[in-house]
Amino acid sequence: MANRKRAAISPVLAVVILIAITMVGGVATASFTFGLFNSLSGTANVSLARLTCFHGTAAASRCTAYLRNEGDVPTTEVSCSLSGGASTVQYGPQVLPPGTSTYTGCRNAPAATFTGEPVQGTFTLENGITIEFQGIYT
């Protein structure tokens, strides 16, 4: 059998190539992973779009509002409060989809309020954000 010489790359060059391949794979994996997690961990950016408050005598006073979610994930309104008594979310917990305005309301326990009387309140979202508002009963 003839003694053949095989041409090969040096061990140092082989290590450099393997390190380069590993780094490229790591960068590709990291960019995919962090890009994916950024899209899954968006935020809800909710603001008050419009508010109307109605006075009540024997009936409950209430404020109705449009809450606008300008974020990229949905959130839910879970509670509300109005000055002057115990309050409840008028239409149940409201889901606020991203990019939309959602109609909701806050109702006070029966209390005598008057036209022109100021009112203050808050809407609280499931993520702990509170949206404070103030208005005048009509």
Q: Mean pLDDT, to the nearest integer, of 60-87? A: 81
Task: Using only the alpha carbons of the chain, give its radius of gyration.
Answer: 30
Do 96 and 72 lie in one domain? The reply is yes
Domain total for the chain? 2
**DSSP-based three-state secondary structure for 128:** coil
Do 70 and 128 lie in one domain? The reply is yes
Q: Which tens digits make up the pLDDT trace of 75-114?
A: 888 788 887 666 766 667 788 888 888 888 887 765 667 8
Do 116 and 50 lie in one domain? The reply is yes
Please tell me what DSSP assigns to residue 107. Answer: E
97 touches 104 (CB < 8 A): no
Do 28 and 68 lie in one domain? The reply is no
Alpha helices per DSSP H over the chain:
11-40
Do 37 and 52 lie in one domain? The reply is no
Phi, psi of 40 (to 5 degrees): -85, -15
Q: Single out the residue of 80, 91, 85, 64 nearest to residue 126, CA to CA.
A: 80
User: What's the pLDDT score for residue 96?
Assistant: 87
Q: Mean pLDDT, to the nearest integer, of 49-78? A: 82
Looking at per-residue confidence, does 84 or 15 come out higher?
A: 15
List the domain range (segments joined by +) for residue 82: 46-136
Whether pTM > 0.75 for this model: the answer is: no
Residue 4 covered by a domain = no
